[in-house]
Amino acid sequence: MPRRGPLWRIRAITTSVCLYLAASVVADPARDGKEMPGTQGWWLGTNVLLRIQEGDQTLKIMIAGMPNPVISQGREVVWSLDRPLLDEWNEDVGLQQRQLLGLQLSRDYALSKGRWRGEIYDPETGRWYKSILRAGGSDNIEIRGYLGTPLLGRSVRYQRFDPCLPDALGQYILLPTLQAPVCQAEEGR
């Protein structure tokens, strides 16, 4: 058996990455001609309830609700509408007094090659990142924020919010200017 030097490992890693990227291009729904499922609506994450609105080839993502208490920077924080959570980690000192509830998290989002692409704001770091929103069926989405290339990023998954579940909003406080989602089963009564 021939002896393998350190260059062999680099080639093996490079080949693995290339195969992964090739597989993701082949599996891209935009290249298969399939439509991306609708992303408009309410989406529940670990620490946030998002409201996504699709416009004419644009997408807006907003913090519509948050639990109380909320975990922020690894600590539990109790807040209220009278004492709201602020955008204290924003790099722009002038924006550090704005409320997180109702904050627009997306910028320049547009449909490109079957995926939503733009920039996403991370209130935990106070920074904007390039971003891709992917649908995982009709009930899940993934938002990936990254620097430079999507390989150097972090993904967060969200589930479509179901207002029919018992105590669906639980400890969540909603933005007062929004109407809470209503269970379709209750509307028919």
When the pLDDT of each residue in the chain is averaged and rounded to a whole number, the result is 80
Give a yes or no: residue 5 inside a domain: no
Q: Cα–Cα distance between 188 and 113 in angstroms, integer? A: 39
Question: Is 21 inside a domain boundary?
Answer: no
Q: Residue 178 carries which side chain, given as an amino acid letter?
A: L
Q: Per the domain annotation, does 149 fall within a domain?
A: yes
CA of 96: how far to CAs of 26, 102, 123, in Å?
43, 14, 10
> Does residue 34 register a pLDDT over 70?
no
Strands laid side by side in the 49-54 sheet: 106-112, 115-122, 127-135, 140-146, 153-160, 41-44, 49-54, 59-67, 172-174
CA distance 40 to 59: 8
pLDDT at 38: 80
Indicate the range of 39-48, 123-132, 136-145, 164-173 predicted with least confidence.
164-173
In angstroms, the CA 66 to CA 110 distance is 26
In a domain, 133, yes or no: yes
Please check whether residue 136 lies inside any domain of the structure: yes
pLDDT for the residue numbered 41: 92
Residue type at position 147: L
Contacts of 108 (CB under 8 A, 6+ apart): 118, 119
Within-domain flag for 25: no
pLDDT in tens, 132-158: 999 888 899 999 999 988 898 999 999
Determine, yes or no, domain membership for 186: no
Q: Is residue 11 part of a domain?
A: no
**Mean pLDDT score, 6-16:** 44
Query: Total structural domains in the chain?
Result: 1
Q: Which of 68, 86, 97 has its CA nearest to residue 174?
A: 68
Q: Which residue has the higher pLDDT, 108 or 183?
A: 108
pLDDT at position 56: 81
pLDDT at position 27 is 40
Q: What is the pLDDT of residue 22?
A: 35
pLDDT at residue number 18:
37
CATH code of residue 144: 2.40.128.520
What span, in angstroms and rounded, lies between the C-alpha atoms of 65 and 51?
A: 9
For residue 146, the enclosing domain spans 32-178
pLDDT value for 31: 34
